[in-house]
Amino acid sequence: MAAPQPTVVPFPGFDKDKDAATLRKAMKGLGTDEKAIIDVLVNRSNNQRLEIVAHYKTAYGKDLISDLKSELRGDFEDAVLALMEPFPLYDAHNLKKAMKGVGTDESTLLEILCARNNAQIKAIKEAYKKAYHSDLEKDLQSETSGYLKRTLTGLVQGNRDESTGVDQAKAQADAQALYEAGEKKLGTDESEFQRILVTRSWVQMRAIFDAYGKIAGRSIEESIKREMSGDLETAFLNIVKFARSPAEYFAEVLYKAMKGLGTDEARLTRTLITRSEIDLGDVKVMYQAKYGKPLAKAVESEVSGDFKKLLLGLIK
């Protein structure tokens, strides 16, 4: 498989002093130069932005985040502040938000935990503990129940096999085990699905799905839809979709965030920011292929103002 294509990469001639000065000037005096702020932020990597935050305080004795908060408003402010956070902390905040208040936003929990590697999950857990003096795993368990709770508990361990080779014999055995746990018997052995979907490497899973299709005569997705329902069905389908194609998975997340009446700005922002340094280039290509419209055009028709300019800057 080709290497994933990000849209945001480290800026080659990075100069934190110059960038800090540009941001300071953009916020000094009457009015704010939003364009200057956008130009700097969408063309720097997350690590570079964090360096600017640290340098700004040294150079001006002021907190860049506080200055941005006092100058900006609305969705644009939310997106700018999100860009200025370390990725693990941003994920931790989003997980917390998904568990806050009445009802839990399971789709956000799954979207984040399905799509992070082991090192990222461990970093998120540390950031969560630091920010909330609370244990992410315990909080997830108190917010969910049944098999979904078990699946999220499994995912948050950050113990997925990350080897890059494929063992065909093992794939065949796992496919057979899934078939016997679902289609072949009355009732479904959900724990067998979890054992395989939460522990096997992404490349191995693609081999398992191919073998499964041959054994069952239908795709693993079709079987999950037949055998399960509710949150667990959603959880397993999320994992399968992400395993098959991260770019297609996130193209669909973005499409759903913009579909119908009203736009889910939080999901739109989160997806574009968290994928910008990973594979947003691939997501763009996939979006166009799947929905017949460039991602930038879709975003343009859904949002406006500086918020729109910032998101389009991430999409490039």
3-state secondary structure string across 238-285: HHHHHHHCHHHHHHHHHHHHHCCCCCCHHHHHHHHHHHHCCCHHHHHH
Q: Which two tokens stand for residue 232?
A: 């667990």
- Give this prediction's pTM: 0.93
Count of all residues that appear for the chain in the document = 316
CB contact at 8 A, 257 and 105? no
Confidence (pLDDT) at 2: 81
Confidence (pLDDT) at 29: 81
Q: Which two tokens stand for residue 220?
A: 């693993």
In whole angstroms, what is the distance from residue 132 CA to residue 117 CA? Answer: 22
Q: Which helix (H) or strand (E) holds 295?
A: helix 295-302
Confidence (pLDDT) at 261: 80
- Mapping DSSP to helix (H, G, I), strand (E, B) and coil, where does residue 307 land? helix
CB contact at 8 A, 232 and 190? yes
Confidence (pLDDT) at 262: 87
Mean pLDDT by 10 residues, the chain (316 residues): 92 98 93 96 98 98 97 96 97 96 87 95 98 98 93 96 96 96 81 95 97 96 93 94 96 95 93 97 98 98 97 97
Report the largest interatomic distance among the alpha carbons of the chain, rounded to a whole angstrom: 71
